[in-house]
Amino acid sequence: MKNLIKFLIFIAYSTCIFFLPNNKIIIVFIAVNVIAMIFVRKNIRKIIRNTTKILPFILFTFVINCILDNYINAIWIGVKLLIVCNITFVYSSTNTVTRNSRNNQIVMYTTKNI
């Protein structure tokens, strides 16, 4: 049950990042990510390395958003993507595939009953 709650908090946190306005509240999310990296006591270099491996895709998204919208909004979306990718790597370093599948099974079973 603890893992399911952690999974639901992760989903809510990741979703909340994109729905909040583009302002200084992003600094709070960055601080939460840093605290989460310290709290889980996993290899921080590995998490940062994995986050930088995704950087070309974030830059590609930035360029597409610059073309479709203005560069200010593109920067905000890029920063939000970087934060979500970072917290995803933090979350995935604390869970195994089996634990994730059990969480997904519990969530799907609950929604099936509703």
Tens digit of pLDDT for each residue in 59-112?
999 999 999 988 888 888 888 898 888 888 888 777 766 665 666 666 666 666
The confidence score (pLDDT) of residue 28 equals 84
The confidence score (pLDDT) of residue 63 equals 92
Closest to 89 measured CA to CA, from 51, 58, 53: 51
* pTM for the predicted model, two decimal places: 0.76
The confidence score (pLDDT) of residue 39 equals 80
Tens digit of pLDDT for each residue in 6-17?
778 888 888 888
Contact predicate 94/40, CB 8 Å: yes
Q: Who contacts 108 (Cβ-Cβ below 8 Å, separation ≥6)?
A: none
Q: What span, in angstroms and rounded, lies between the C-alpha atoms of 28 and 45?
A: 21
The confidence score (pLDDT) of residue 29 equals 83
